[in-house]
Structure 1
């Protein structure tokens, strides 16, 4: 193989990978009804967290995230990030069917979580935020992923919520 062909082949690899992630990410279908049913099943249950945040803090954080898509996020990552790395990360998460991020990292600029708020109140805030999001026709840019359509935003919320729920236990 000559050097020119090798360089062209080498340059094509990232293009093929990105195209593959793009196509594969389109297969992820969010299921907000199932997500809401899971959250509703927590009502009246004794919950505990295996992580550093209590269940009330987890639910508040998730409600903040969902509400940010409706009312706006107070701080955003750099524009170059929201137009490159952020959207690519979401596509990778959708392709994998799971999100991976630090589970005790606050959303930039959001109010501090209230450790004394009841779990029931925080859970109700999250459920209400999801219901409001589902009815919203005008969404704000995500602080890391940038401008998203409704389906991609729902996918981001579902993957985010599901990852945090891995630390919530009943009993």
Structure 2
């Protein structure tokens, strides 16, 4: 193999990988109704968390994320990030059908989570925020992913919520 062929092949690998991520990301279709049904199933349940945040803190964090799309996020990552790394990360998450991020990391600039807010109230706020988001026609840029279509924003919310829900479960009664 000559040097030119090798360099061309070397340059083609990331282009092909990016094209694959782009194509695969389009296969993820958000299902807001399924997500709302799952959240509603938690109502009147005793919930527990396997993570460092309690269920009320998780639901508040998720509400902040959803409402940020509607009202704006208090802080944005650098423009270079929201135009390159951020959108690519979302495409990778969509292609994988799952998000991976630290589950106790606050959204930059958002208010502190209230550990004393009743879980049912926090859950209701999340459900209301998702319903408001679904009805919103104008969305604010995501603090990390930048400007998104409604569908991409819903995908980001769904993947974010689903990852956090991996730590929430209905408490079992001990006899």
* Residue in 2 that maps onto 1:160: 160
Structure 1 stretches of 5 or more lacking a match? none
- 1:132-151 equivalence runs, <5 A: 132-151=132-151
Match of 1:131 in 2: 131
Q: What's the CA shift for 1:123?
A: 0.2
Q: 1:56 — aligned with what?
A: 56
Per-residue CA shift, 1:124-167, capped at 9, x if unaligned? 00000000000000000000000000000000000000000000
Q: CA RMSD in A?
A: 0.4
1:17-52 deviations in Å (ceiling 9; x for gaps): 001100000000000000000000000000000000
Query: What displacement does 1:65 show?
Result: 0.1
Aligned equivalents of 2:134, 2:166: Cα separation in 1: 23
Equivalent positions of 1:8-157 (< 5 A) are 8-157=8-157
Q: Distance in 2 between matches of 1:155 and 1:42?
A: 21
Secondary structure of 2:98's aligned partner: coil
Q: What SS class does the counterpart of residue 53 from structure 1 fall into?
A: coil
Runs of 4+ in 1 over 4 A off after TM superposition: none
Partner of residue 3, structure 1: 3
Query: Under a length normalisation based on structure 1, what TM-score does the superposition of the two structures give?
Result: 0.99
Q: Per the alignment, in what secondary structure is the counterpart of residue 169 of structure 2?
A: strand
Unmatched 5+ stretches in structure 2? none
What is the TM-score with the length of structure 2 in the denominator? 0.97
The separation in 2 between residues aligned to 1:79 and 1:28, in whole angstroms, is: 26
